[in-house]
Amino acid sequence: MFEAPIQRLIDELARLPGIGRKTAQRLAFHLLHVEEEDARRLAESILSMRAEVRLCIRCFNVTDSEECSICRDLRRDPSILCAVERPQDIVVVEKTQEFRGRYHVLGGSISPIEGIGPDQLRLRELVARLDDEKVTEVIVATNPNVEGDTTALYVARLLKPLGVRVTRLASGLPVGGDLDYADELTLGRALSGRREM
Amino acid sequence: MFEAPIQRLIDELARLPGIGRKTAQRLAFHLLHVEEEDARRLAESILSMRAEVRLCIRCFNVTDSEECSICRDLRRDPSILCAVERPQDIVVVEKTQEFRGRYHVLGGSISPIEGIGPDQLRLRELVARLDDEKVTEVIVATNPNVEGDTTALYVARLLKPLGVRVTRLASGLPVGGDLDYADELTLGRALSGRREM
């Protein structure tokens, strides 16, 4: 046991995901030894993040104003939506610089084990946007796992009858990868999704 | 790039040792989604740790009062000192429940590469304690590496002429370990430090 103020900080740090007791201890002593200013900046960035961040009223991306910077960007094509599970997935897709439409954050994926059904996802809001924004295609960019696949299937069944094109990110071999290291499921997907040359 | 308040927090988190961009991002979004109260408690424990923690005037352990709880404890034997590099090393030694003396935090180890010489360590303060507290033995518990060994040697040469016994933690095989997995240096130390049975 450390003296109270340090032990309290260690306990708080150890509540963070992926941070064990040892790491929490190391971080706490780091924060004890850095410049006062540096420790204060970290604490204040936590508080100001909580105070300033809200969800975009249109796509539910995180933002510090009413609409996020992507929805505000007039150069983006509003007729193509990319549906993602979480706000942080948007940054990953943006980095490809291949997508110029807007996003829709579902807020998770369908997972009976975690008790998350379609009702907990922002599907009503997605359907409402189809008309409002004259959407012609929804790219479902949920994770390539059971929950993500289930969610994609559900979204497809929900939206197709409304006359919108629903697509899914391709699964297959990672670029620069090696056949030897591909797991069977990925290789199976790569086979079934093979393309004419 | 994330929206400003989140990006600022990610940047601050990524400055912590051992926290990369990916982890910083994961932690920032975790802090965005937890209860307001939980995020606030973490921020405040950083600030209050910085405000409340000071160094024990006797041994330089971290404390929230003038002397640390170990120095204040009248049941501890003041005649044996355990010299450690950093305050967090005290907790490690305490966990063994084998040591009932007091500590002295040197504040690092001699490292020419990092520009730390004997003058930067709290050796003057250590020497002053020998008389004041009628110390008979100083156990040097610096790390079993080059810097720790150098520091231990320096402390021994400094204190022995003053008539105090100077000892060093034994190096050797970890208890429960396996000869197969011992590195050569450790095994070498275990050999040279072998004990009569």
A101 within domain boundaries? yes
Q: How far is CA A115 from CA A86, A109, A157, B29, B109, in A?
A: 17, 10, 21, 21, 53
Query: At B63, phi and psi to the nearest 5?
Result: -160, 165
**Residue A5 to residue B52, Cβ atoms within 8 A:** yes
**Residue A5 to residue B45, Cβ atoms within 8 A:** yes
**Residue A87 to residue B29, Cβ atoms within 8 A:** yes
What CATH number corresponds to the domain at position A90? 3.40.1360.10
For residues B32 and B79, membership in a common domain is answered with no
**Residue B45 is nearest to which of A8, A30, A61, comparing CB atoms?**
A8
Tell me what ipTM this predicted complex has: 0.79
Taking only residues 126 to 155 of chain A, the set having a beta carbon closer than 8 angstroms to any beta carbon of chain B reads none
B12 within domain boundaries? yes
For residues A80 and A31, membership in a common domain is answered with no
B189 within domain boundaries? no
For residues B79 and B163, membership in a common domain is answered with yes
Contacts 24+ apart (CB under 8 A), A167-170: A167/A137, A167/A138, A167/A139, A167/A140, A168/A139, A168/A140, A169/A139, A169/A140, A169/A141, A169/A144
Total domains in chain B come to: 2
Q: What is the pTM of this model?
A: 0.77
For residues A25 and A86, membership in a common domain is answered with no
pLDDT (0 to 100) of residue B174: 82
**Sign of the C-alpha dihedral, residues A20, B97, B72, B58?**
negative
CB A64 within 8 A of CB A53: yes
Tens of pLDDT along chain B (197 residues)? Answer: 788 889 999 999 999 999 999 999 999 999 998 999 999 999 999 999 999 999 999 999 999 999 999 999 999 999 999 999 999 999 888 888 889 999 999 999 999 999 999 999 999 999 999 999 999 999 999 998 899 999 999 999 999 999 999 998 888 878 777 778 778 888 888 787 877 77
A89 within domain boundaries? yes
For residues B157 and B79, membership in a common domain is answered with yes
Q: How far is CA A187 from CA A167, A170, A172, A183, B77, in A?
A: 20, 12, 6, 6, 67
The residue segments making up the domain with residue B24 are 4-52
For residues B45 and B85, membership in a common domain is answered with no
Q: Quick one: which of B128, B124, B131, B123 has its CA closest to B79?
A: B131
CB B191 within 8 A of CB B173: no
A174 within domain boundaries? no
| Residue B9 with chain A: CB contacts under 8 Å | 45-46, 49
B159 within domain boundaries? yes
Q: What distance in Å separates the CA atoms of residue B192 and residue B189, rounded to the nearest whole number?
A: 5
For residues B162 and B84, membership in a common domain is answered with yes
Query: At A194, phi and psi to the nearest 5?
Result: -60, 150
B145 within domain boundaries? yes
For residues A96 and A44, membership in a common domain is answered with no
Which residue type does A112 have? P
The residue in chain B having the minimum alpha-carbon distance to the alpha carbon of residue A14 is B42
What CATH number corresponds to the domain at position A26? 1.10.8.420
